[in-house]
Amino acid sequence: MTDAVDPHRAPTALPWRGLVEGFYGTPWSGAERRAYFAFAAPLGLDRYVYAPKSDPYHRERWREPYPEAQLAELAALAADAKAVGIRFGYAISPGLSMRFADPADAAALAAKARQLFDAGIRHFCVLFDDVPPTLTDAADLARFGDDDAAVGRAHGAAASEFAGFLRTELGITEPLLVCPTDYAGIAPSPYREGLAETLPTDALLFWTGSDIVVGEVTRAAVDAAAASYRRDLVLWDNFPVNDFDRSRLFLGPLTGRAGDVVGSRLVGIAVNPMVEAAPSRFAIAACAEWAAYPARYDPDAAAARARRLVAGPAAEGLAPLLDACSSWPPSAAPDPALDALIERARRGDVAALAEVRGRMEALAATSSAGAPADLRSALLPWVRAAQAVGAAGVLACRLLANDGRSDAAATVSALRAAWTAAEAHYPNVLRSSVELLVAAALERAGAPRLPVTAPQGGRVLLLTGANPSPGDRELAEFLHADGHAVTIRSESAASDIAPDFDLVIIARAASERAALELADIAIPVIAWGHLVALRLASASEMPLALDTIELSDGDHPIAAGLAGAVRAYRGPSRLTWGVPASGGRVIASTPQDRHPVLVLYDAGMPLVDGRPAPAARLTFFLGSDGFAPWLVTDATRQIVRAAVTHLLGRAA
């Protein structure tokens, strides 16, 4: 293992090193930001960019000055950062509504900066991320054109005018840091060409890599991206951010970042942390080492040092959890080595089974005792989830090793209960891996998770993917317990459905081709996947970090007697919404944007293409995790039950 690098003496350190608080969801508190300043400064991370998407004065209401209390807190934060050697940068994000050719909006941008400057803030950024990619204002179109490069020209011009104001009126001469709308990828684009035409030549650009969230950043990608922008870059590294999946933590080191970037046009890194501030320190510490000396960076050594630095005496007790949450990128398997061991154990490898059991016992014994209070508090839900998953894994290993001993039935019962308890945790710690272990153990014991027959009730087809997700399996079990006969399929022709089923549920995991096979079937359908293809919505999205719906039609039976704001998920996740046909009955929407999430079409009602619904159709708010037991609340269970009952009643 390499020695730690002194960030203040590293000969090849990137000059711009810090953090951008740019995630969606609940922003860090003032105390969490101050804790970051104290932690980061000794590591050589001397930049901080304030850019929480949930601060309305940063984004939606950017024209408005800060109220006195919020302004005072920003001023105090900037002063506290300066006291430990960190430059506090304020990012303003006007792109949702700015009229780029309007002098009044340019003046509003300047006035906002003036207010913050008078409060003691000396560093500014302009962000155009996640805003409309086209111009619609007539004056903007007249000034910047209507071609594909127009919005880039508009953004560059606005940034240039703002930089001029900072320089001439406020005396701020450092290069302006700008986040473009086209912030990911390496190829030239009309937007980048337009931006380069009007942006100051010394401006720095935020860039996230070859994609928004990446496992690798190569020197070749840096060079190509810089050439496409014709500007120096600061890597907005979407690591270890978790706003896209709040059930997970990313506690491992930075990996996949090139060691030969010094001397390129990449001049810095801005870590985008997790919503959970204290656990983010594991990754932040490792990122600081890479930024200080990329060529000598060793992820494993950095991770070991980060664990000791962040967790102190709790590092050993937390090691099973840290190991379980160390993979990157998010699409990678959480623990490929464990998956391989489980696969060998499933095939009868006794040595592998013993090793898996050791891993499960360690996970069940996870402890945060001795950790700093803020870290212990933040990790507590994941520690409990790790303990529960580990306990179920130990029982699964016992069952796999049982070889017909007389206590197998008792172990089956205990395993079912333990896994039900493990799946009830919203935090995800090796859930997909250990589920395979549990399924193998139950299968070996001849105890399938879903009974084959149901006593009575409707006949329900659940259309999902070839490998049903935990949420889809949980939905089948839930409906089975309600007395319905549930069949899970990934392929079905319409001609095979009508005689055999009373209701079809189309989950997001189903293929679009399979969903389209059932688009015209004359029995009721509930869907939270492929709403556009099924003609139930003209557009559909799954926004991040939502957990609440607003029941606007509380008198409808599908509302299950609930009304007003109802928490649909136990933690932030994705709600599916769609733009319905004009006659669709909106039962629930998202609370803030009023996007419809529960829309009912009665049989015969026109769908978005004008054709009549062949039977009742209901769009549902579940997202990519579906009816996952760790996610859905009792309210969601009530609504699902009411929806199925209502549509089956129509079928009768």
Q: Could you say which of 80, 102, 130, 339 is catalytic?
A: 130
Residue 6: inside a domain: no
pLDDT tens, residue by residue, 522-574: 999 999 999 999 999 999 998 777 889 999 877 899 999 999 999 999 888 88
Question: Is 88 exposed, middle or buried, given 0-12, 13-18 or 19+ CB atoms closer than 10 A?
Answer: buried
Give pLDDT, residue 651: 46
pLDDT tens, residue by residue, 147-200: 999 999 999 999 999 999 999 999 999 999 999 999 999 999 999 999 999 999
Give pLDDT, residue 542: 86
More confident residue, 373 or 465: 373
3-state secondary structure 348-371: CCHHHHHHHHHHHHHHHCCCCCCC
Whether 540 and 473 map to the same domain: the answer is yes
In this structure, what CATH number is given to the domain that contains residue 137? 3.20.20.80
Whether 219 and 368 map to the same domain: the answer is no
Q: How far apart are CA 399 and CA 415, in angstroms?
A: 8
Residue 473: inside a domain: yes
Spatial neighbors of 61 by CB under 8 A, at least 6 apart, are none
For residue 481, what pLDDT band results from cuts at 50, 70 and 90?
A: confident
User: Which among 297, 326, 352 is the end of a domain?
Assistant: 297
Q: What percent of the chain clears pLDDT 70, i.e. is strictly above it?
A: 94
Give pLDDT, residue 650: 53
Whether 433 and 498 map to the same domain: the answer is no
Q: What tokens appear for 254 in the block?
A: 């930075």
Whether 358 and 499 map to the same domain: the answer is no
Q: How far apart are CA 563 and CA 566, in angstroms?
A: 7
Q: Calculate mean pLDDT across residues 643-650.
A: 88
Residue 4: inside a domain: no
Residue 626: inside a domain: yes
Spatial neighbors of 543 by CB under 8 A, at least 6 apart, are 574, 575, 577, 590, 595
Q: Quickly count: other Cβ atoms within 10 Å of residue 223's Cβ.
A: 15
pLDDT tens, residue by residue, 389-409: 999 999 999 999 975 565 788
∠ CA 49-52-58, nearest 5°, is 90
User: Could you tell me if residue 404 is left (phi over 0), alpha (psi between -120 and 50 degrees) or otherwise beta?
Assistant: left
More confident residue, 573 or 28: 28
pLDDT over threshold 70, residue 306: yes
pLDDT tens, residue by residue, 315-336: 999 999 999 999 999 889 899 9
pLDDT over threshold 80, residue 259: yes
Give pLDDT, residue 471: 87
| Listed residue (525, 533, 518, 431) closest to 474, CA to CA | 431
User: Which among 444, 467, 491 is the end of a domain?
Assistant: 444
Whether 156 and 79 map to the same domain: the answer is yes
Residue 266: inside a domain: yes
Give pLDDT, residue 294: 96
Residue 5: inside a domain: no
Whether 182 and 254 map to the same domain: the answer is yes
Q: Quickly count: other Cβ atoms within 10 Å of residue 195's Cβ.
A: 30
pLDDT over threshold 90, residue 7: no
Range with the lowest mean pLDDT among 47-56, 542-551, 576-585, 591-600?
542-551
User: Which among 418, 444, 470 is the end of a domain?
Assistant: 444
pLDDT over threshold 60, residue 110: yes
Residue 314: inside a domain: no
> What b/e sequence results for 319-352 when a residue is b if at least 16 CB atoms lie within 10 Å of its CB, and e otherwise?
ebbbbbbbbbebeeebbeebbebbebbbeeeeeb
Residue 454: inside a domain: no
pLDDT over threshold 90, residue 215: yes
Residue 512 and residue 532 in contact, taking contact as beta carbons nearer than 8 Å: no
Whether 560 and 622 map to the same domain: the answer is yes
Residue 555 CA, chain-centre distance (Å), reads 34
| 548-551: strand order across its sheet | 485-489, 459-463, 503-506, 525-527, 617-619, 596-601, 585-589, 548-551, 564-567
Whether 438 and 464 map to the same domain: the answer is no
Where in the sequence is the domain holding 507, given as residue range(s)? 459-651
Whether 438 and 466 map to the same domain: the answer is no
Query: What is the number of structural domains in the chain?
Result: 3
Give pLDDT, residue 456: 63
pLDDT over threshold 60, residue 51: yes
pLDDT over threshold 90, residue 629: no
pLDDT tens, residue by residue, 488-507: 888 765 555 656 789 999 99
Whether 490 and 566 map to the same domain: the answer is yes
Mean pLDDT estimate for the chain: 92
Whether 433 and 465 map to the same domain: the answer is no
Give pLDDT, residue 225: 98
Whether 419 and 467 map to the same domain: the answer is no
| Half-sphere CA count of 298, side-chain side, radius 13 A | 10
pLDDT over threshold 80, residue 213: yes
DSSP state letters, 385-447: HHHHHHHHHHHHHHHHT-TT-TTHHHHHHHHHHHHHHHHT-SS-SSHHHHHHHHHHHHHHTT-
555 is catalytic: no
Range with the lowest mean pLDDT among 84-93, 236-245, 448-457?
448-457
Cis check for the bond before 329: say yes or no (omega within 30 of 0): yes
Residue 256 and residue 222 in contact, taking contact as beta carbons nearer than 8 Å: no
